[in-house]
A and B are shown apart, each in its own frame.
Chain A
Amino acid sequence: MTSKKIVIVGSFGVGKTSLIRRFVDETFSEDYKVTIGVHILKKTVEIQENIVNLIIWDTEGTDDIEEIRKAYLLGTHGFIYVTDITRPKTYENLAAHKTYLNEQFGNVPIIAVGNKTDLLAKGSIAQMKEDMDFLDLLISAKEGNNVQRLFERMAKMLIA
C-alpha cells in the first residue's frame, strides 16, 4: 500500500471542497462555505491491483496561486487544478499557474478540471469540451460526473 499526497488548488468558489466531499463522502451541499487554511481527507482506491491511499489536501481558494502557503504544497505528488466553467476568471491564468507549479514543485502531474457542468444547458457539454480544450476533464461535483474518473486518473499517473 502506498500513500500519495494530492493538493487541490484553484480560485475561490470553484467547488474544490465539494469535489472532495463528493469523492470521499459521496455527498454534496449547495451551501458555499469558504475554506480557511487546509482540510485533509483520505480515500483508498484500488488501481490495477495496487492499493493507493490518496491523502487529499483541500486548500483555500485564491486567484493567485503564489499566495498559497508554500508549506502546504511541499511533498505533493499531484495537483488537481479546479476551475468553474461558468466563471472565466477562474481559468484565465491556468497556463501561468501550471508553469509556476511545475517550476516550484518539479514535474508533478497536474490535472486541470472544469467544474459545474451541471449548470450547462443540456447537450452543450460536447461544445464546451471543444471550447475548453485546455482543461483535461469537465466534471460536476454536484452530480458526481467524472469525479471518480478524475481521481482514478490521478492515481494511475502516480503509480505509473
Chain B
Amino acid sequence: MIPDKSNKDFIVKVQFIAIDDQGRIKKSDQNLIKFTEGTQIVDVHPFFESLITYFDHKSDHIKLDCVNMFDHSYDIEVITHKDNTGVIILRDRTDFYDRIQKIAQKRNESLIFNEVLELKNNMLHEKEAFKTKFIQNFAHEVRSPLTLISAFSSLLLKGELNLDQTKLVEAVNEQSDKLRKLMDDIIELSQLKKGKPEIINTPFSFLELIESIHLNFSSKISISSNIFEMSVSQDVPEFLIGDKRRIEQIISNLIENALLYNSGNKIKLEISENNRRAGKSSLRFVVHHQGLVPEDLENRHLVKDIEKIEPEGLSFSIVRELVDLMDGSISIKKIDNNSTQQIINIRVSFPLHNVEIPVKETKTAQQYNFTDKVRVLIADQNSTTQFTALKVLVSTGNFDTVVYKDPKELLEAVEKHEYDLILISSSISQIDAVELIGIIKEFANDKNKSIPIIALTVRTSKEDIATYRKAGFKDVVKKPYTDDELLNTIYKRLNLKKFL
C-alpha cells in the first residue's frame, strides 16, 4: 500500500548529529535544529548535559521518546562508538505528541474533577453523619429535662393552685410543649432529609381527624382573639387508608405556618376532593391567612442543610418533604397583595368496604385507686428522668417504686425481690436497654420473668420499636413524655384487676 503523504505523522523529519571524542558537534545536517559545528553539545540544551550519566551505565545505544526541547517533541537516539565519538538522531514527533497531549489533557482534567468531586462527596457524607449524630445526641440530652418539665407542669396543673400559680404553670407547660414540638420538628426534618421516612398506611376516620384538628386549633387560635374556620366539602371520604400521623402533621403544620405569618384575625382551612380514581381520592387542602409569607419560603426545601433552614421555615419544610413523599403537590399563592393561600394536593387511598377503626385511646390517664400498690422497679441512671418517673408514679399513690442505676444491683434485685413492673431507660452504665432486658430475663426469679417491662426511650423509629418488642419489651414510651402518657402505657400493660 502506498502511504498517504498527506498524513503528517508519516512524514517525520530526522536530524543526524555527529559528535567527536571531546563532546563537540562535528557535523549536523541541520534539518531540525541549527547547531554550530565545534560547539560543546552539553551547552546546547540541559538534556544533552545529562546524557553523560547514561554512559556511566555503559550503554552504547539509548532511545528516549518524547523529549521536549525548543518547543518541539523529539524521539531521540544516542549511539556511542568505542573511540568515544557518537551520533545523535532526532526525530521530530511534535504533531503526534501534541495530539496525545490534547487527549491526555481532557482525560486528566476529567479524572481530577471526579477525584475532587468524590472527595467533596465523602466530606459531605461525613459532615451529614456528624450532624445527624449531633442532632441525635442533642435531642437525647434535651429530652430528659424536657420530660421533667412537661410531666411536672402537667402534674402541678392537676393539683390545687391559685389563679396566678395556674397561669404561671400553664405558661411553663405551653412553652415546654412548644419546645417539644420544635425538637420533634428538627429531628423529623433531619430524618426526612436523610431519606429514611416511613409511611404507615392504616385505615382511619378522616372526618374524625379533621374534627380533632378543628377543635385543637379553634381553642388555640381563640386565645389570641382570632377565628379559625374550617370548611369540608361533602364529597370528602369519611375514611382513608393512609398515614394518619403524617396527614395530620401536614394539615397542622400548614395552619401553624399560617399562624406564624398571619396579620389578620382569621385563618381558614378548606378541604375538598379533586377526583377519585383507582381507589384513591385526590384531596385538596387550602389554608388562607392574611399577610404574606417570605418570598423564598416555597424554595426553602431546596436547602439541603437542615442547619440553613430558618426556624420559622421548619414546619413548611416538613410539609414539603411529606408531600413529596406522598407524590403530592404544594404551592403558595399570593392573593390581592395582602393574603396568602397554601395549597396542597395529595392522593390517598380510601376503603371500598366498611372498615374497623381501632378504638381511640384516651389522652388523660384514668384515675385509679388501687387496693394493692404496684411494685415498680425503675432502671435509669439519669437523675432527671429517674426523678420524673418516680414523681409521676408516686403522685398517683398507686405505686411503690425503687430505683436502680447500677446494673449489678439491678440484677441482684430482680433475682431476690418480686416486682409487678419494670421501667428501663435507653441505657444504664453503657449497657443498652435491649442487652439489659436479655440479662434481666436470664437472672430474674420466675415471678419477675413474667412481669411487663417497658422501655423509656428517645429511640422510637419503627425499626427501634420493632427491636425493643423483639427483645421482650411490652411497650415503649417516647421521651419526653407527659405524666398521662407514662401512666396510660403502664395501665395498659398491667393486669389492673389484680390491684383494684
Instruction: Using CB atoms and an 8 Å cutoff, list the residues of chain A in contact with chain B.
Output: 3, 5, 12-13, 32-34, 36-42, 53, 55-57, 60-61, 69, 71-72, 74-77, 86-89
The answer to whether B68 and A39 touch across the interface, beta carbons within 8 angstroms, is yes
The binding surface of chain B is classed by DSSP as helix
The one of B62, B73, B116 in contact with A71, judged by C-beta atoms closer than 8 angstroms, is B62
Which residues B24-51 have CB closer than 8 A to chain A?
45-47, 49-50
Cβ–Cβ < 8 Å partners of A72 in chain B? 64
Apart from A34-B108, A38-B68, what 11 extra A-B contacts exist at CB < 8 Å?
A: A13-B111, A36-B68, A37-B68, A37-B97, A40-B45, A60-B104, A69-B64, A71-B64, A71-B65, A75-B54, A87-B115
Q: Does B100 contact A (CB under 8 A)?
A: yes
The one of A13, A34, A36 in contact with B73, judged by C-beta atoms closer than 8 angstroms, is A36
A55 vs B68: C-alpha distance when bound (angstroms):
14
If A3-B52, A32-B109 touch, does A40 touch B64 (CB 8 Å cutoff)? no
Which residues B71-95 have CB closer than 8 A to chain A?
73
The answer to whether B116 and A75 touch across the interface, beta carbons within 8 angstroms, is no
The answer to whether B62 and A55 touch across the interface, beta carbons within 8 angstroms, is no
Residue total for B at the interface (Cβ-Cβ under 8 A): 32
Q: Nearest-CB distance from B308 to chain A (Å)?
A: 21
A41 vs B105: C-alpha distance when bound (angstroms):
22
The answer to whether B49 and A36 touch across the interface, beta carbons within 8 angstroms, is no
Cβ–Cβ < 8 Å partners of A40 in chain B? 45-47, 50, 67-69
The number of residue pairs between A and B whose CB atoms lie closer than 8 Å in the complex comes to 82
Cβ–Cβ < 8 Å partners of B116 in chain A? 86-87
Cβ–Cβ < 8 Å partners of B46 in chain A? 40-42, 55-56
Q: Does B66 contact A (CB under 8 A)?
A: yes
- Contact flags (1/0) for B123-153 with A, using CB distance below 8 Å? 0000000000000000000000000000000
If A5-B50, A42-B49, A75-B54 touch, does A69 touch B65 (CB 8 Å cutoff)? yes
Cβ–Cβ < 8 Å partners of B66 in chain A? 36-38
Q: Nearest-CB distance from A107 to chain B (Å)?
A: 16
Q: Does B57 contact A (CB under 8 A)?
A: yes
A60 vs B103: C-alpha distance when bound (angstroms):
14
Instruction: Using CB atoms and an 8 Å cutoff, list the residues of chain B in contact with chain A.
Output: 45-47, 49-50, 52-54, 56-57, 59, 62-69, 73, 97, 100-101, 104-105, 108-109, 111-112, 115-116, 119
Cβ–Cβ < 8 Å partners of A86 in chain B? 116, 119
Q: Nearest-CB distance from A41 to chain B (Å)?
A: 6
Cβ–Cβ < 8 Å partners of B105 in chain A? 33-34
The one of A3, A33, A38, A88 in contact with B49, judged by C-beta atoms closer than 8 angstroms, is A3
A74 vs B50: C-alpha distance when bound (angstroms):
10
The answer to whether B97 and A12 touch across the interface, beta carbons within 8 angstroms, is no
A86 vs B169: C-alpha distance when bound (angstroms):
56
Closest residue of chain B to A60 (Cβ to Cβ) is: B104
A57 vs B45: C-alpha distance when bound (angstroms):
12
The answer to whether A75 and B104 touch across the interface, beta carbons within 8 angstroms, is no
Closest residue of chain A to B42 (Cβ to Cβ) is: A3
The answer to whether A38 and B54 touch across the interface, beta carbons within 8 angstroms, is no
Between A and B, 26 residue pairs with Cβ closer than 8 Å are A3-B50, A5-B50, A12-B112, A13-B112, A32-B108, A36-B73, A36-B100, A36-B101, A37-B65, A37-B66, A37-B68, A37-B73, A37-B97, A38-B67, A40-B69, A57-B50, A69-B65, A71-B63, A71-B65, A74-B53, A74-B54, A74-B59, A74-B62, A75-B53, A86-B116, A87-B119
Q: Nearest-CB distance from B56 to chain A (Å)?
A: 6
A3 vs B52: C-alpha distance when bound (angstroms):
10
Cβ–Cβ < 8 Å partners of A32 in chain B? 108-109, 112
Q: Nearest-CB distance from A76 to chain B (Å)?
A: 8
Closest residue of chain B to A63 (Cβ to Cβ) is: B111
A53 vs B48: C-alpha distance when bound (angstroms):
13
